[in-house]
Amino acid sequence: MKHFIFTLIALVMLSVSVGAVEPDEILKDAALEARARIISKDVRCVVCQNQSIDDSDSGIARKMRILVRDRITKGDTNQQVLDYLVSRYGDFVLLKPPVKAKTAALWFGPAIMLLLGLVGIIFYYRRRAKETAETTGAAPLSADEKSRLDALMKEEGSET
Amino acid sequence: MSQRYIFLLPLVVFCIIAIYFAVGLTKDPSKLDDDVLTNQPMGDFTLIPVEGRSETLSIDDLKGKVSLVNFFGSWCVACLQEHPFFMELKESADVPLYGVDWDEKNPKDVVRWLKRHGDPYTKIGVDVSGATIIDWGITGAPETFVVDKTGTIRYKHIGPVSPASWQSTIWPLIVELRKE
């Protein structure tokens, strides 16, 4: 029983997710295979919109996985592989779009919108505070007025 | 003043969303925004012949003459749509049409396909590994390229070539490129 539980735990801990990678694609060199997996997770399957080639079982994703492995086996760095794919398919092939002039709106747009919103809120409250000050005259109550107000408030309270 | 028009706010918001949808939903997701390969000279490739034939296809075949390169497969349904037109072109237009056959489950499939529907190609190469289709940035079939005399891609046509797209875009471009 002890052995069984140990084996079970070992199996769970040793298992890695393999995505759509088929057994015949896996490289013998574990380090290279690990790199291939990292690259593959960043590369979009060009026929399935929002899946990486690591997740997709489409034919072209398989071809791209094999190409990635082929290139790193031949000595390409991760960046070289990605650069090659971008030179063939454009930035579209990367799941995470790079920061550049063309994608600036995408990367900085949300922050700018948030900032504009905050500025808007500040202006709104400032204006409202000013408007209420104007309509009410904004003069603080004198001591006399204050005691009269207190008296009135007490009166109201006792009636109910 | 501003409160008077507040009732218009939902309408304005709706219009903004509608504009985004109109732009976003009418875009063809299979078309890439940046056509990175146009005007790029293509790298070396040598493809193996169709089973039973001996002619290979390499980058050298594409040099010296304006040509068309068509990526197809016997599995590709839309390829059959343009196929009769390519058969016509073989007779009428003096443009080499090179075929790149890819993703065949069985190498004999394309042999049967060509026998059944006819062979409009000047030469056919088979891409087994997929290295060439990735090098050409292929996302599906059919895709057809207009390649100039230096082996540089000048135009990419995604989907079946229709007589209309031939008349309006592809043929005028070929005429233009021949003058270069």
Amino acid at B177: L
Q: Tokens 């390829």 label which residue? A: B79
Instruction: Read off φ and ψ for residue B55, nearest 5 degrees.
Output: -80, 130
pLDDT of residue B28: 66
Q: Does residue A103 share a domain with residue A29?
A: no
pTM above 0.80, yes or no: no
Look up the domain containing A119 and give its range: 99-137
- Which one of B33, B37, B130 has the shortest CB-CB distance to A67? B130
Q: Does residue A58 share a domain with residue A77?
A: yes
Mean pLDDT, all residues of chain A:
86
CB A9 within 8 A of CB A45: no
Q: Choose among B10, B132, B12, B15: nearest CA to B69.
A: B132
Lowest-confidence pick of A15-24, A86-95, B1-10: A15-24
Q: Is residue A79 part of a domain?
A: yes
- Which one of A59, A70, A90 has the shortest CB-CB distance to B36? A90
d(CA B70, CA B89): 13
Q: Does residue A129 share a domain with residue A83?
A: no
Question: Which of A25-29, A75-79, B33-37 has maximum average pLDDT?
Answer: A75-79
The count of structural domains within chain A is: 2
Confidence of residue B18 (pLDDT cuts 50, 70, 90): very high
* Mean pLDDT within B14-29: 86
Q: Does residue A110 share a domain with residue A45?
A: no
pLDDT of residue A138: 61
Distance of alpha carbon B141 from the chain centroid: 7
- Which one of B35, B103, B134 has the shortest CB-CB distance to A67? B134
pLDDT of residue A91: 86
Lowest-confidence pick of A130-144, A146-160, B26-40: B26-40
Residues of chain B with Cβ-Cβ distance to A92 below 8 Å are 32-34
pLDDT of residue A104: 86
Q: Does residue A22 share a domain with residue A94?
A: yes
Q: Does residue A104 share a domain with residue A93?
A: no
pLDDT at B1 over 60: no
Peptide bond into A140 cis (omega under 30): no
Q: Is the ipTM of this complex over 0.95?
A: no
Stated as kind and residue range, the H or E segment containing B154 is strand B153-158
pLDDT at A129 over 90: no
Question: Mind listing the pLDDT tens digit for each residue in B108-156?
Answer: 999 999 999 999 999 999 999 899 999 999 988 899 999 999 999 999 9
Q: Choose among B155, B153, B161, B150: nearest CA to B64.
A: B150
Lowest-confidence pick of A63-77, A83-97, A132-146: A132-146
Chosen for mutation from B27, B36, B40, B75 (greatest number of chain A CBs closer than 10 Å) is B36
Look up the domain containing B134 and give its range: 29-178
Cα nearest neighbour of A86 on chain B: B36
CB contact under 8 A, A60 and B36: no
Q: Does residue A72 share a domain with residue A24?
A: yes
Q: At CA A63, angle to CA B154 and CA B51, rounded to 5?
A: 80
pLDDT at B106 over 80: yes
> Rounded to a whole number, what is the distance in Å from the CA of B94 to chain A's nearest CA?
30
pLDDT of residue A49: 72
Q: Tokens 């070289």 label which residue? A: A80
CB A34 within 8 A of CB A72: no
pLDDT of residue B34: 57
Residue B32: C-alpha distances to residues A40, B43, B139, B143, B162 (Å): 20, 21, 10, 13, 20
pLDDT of residue A39: 94
Q: Does residue A32 share a domain with residue A80?
A: yes
Torsion of CA B116, B122, B123, B124, to 10 degrees: -40
Residues composing chain A: 160
Question: Mind listing the pLDDT tens digit for each residue in B51-94?
Answer: 999 999 999 999 999 999 999 999 999 999 999 999 999 998 88
Question: Mind listing the pLDDT tens digit for each residue in B33-47?
Answer: 557 888 888 888 999
pLDDT of residue A153: 86
Instruction: Read off φ and ψ for residue B146, nearest 5 degrees.
Output: -100, 120
pLDDT of residue B30: 55
Residue A10: C-alpha distances to residues A15, A33, B144 (Å): 8, 22, 52
Say which residues have a Cβ less than 8 Å from residue B68's Cβ, sequence separation at least 6.
B95, B96, B97, B98, B144, B145, B146, B147, B170, B174
Q: Choose among B26, B73, B29, B34: nearest CA to B156.
A: B34
Q: What is the CATH number of the domain that holds B77?
A: 3.40.30.10
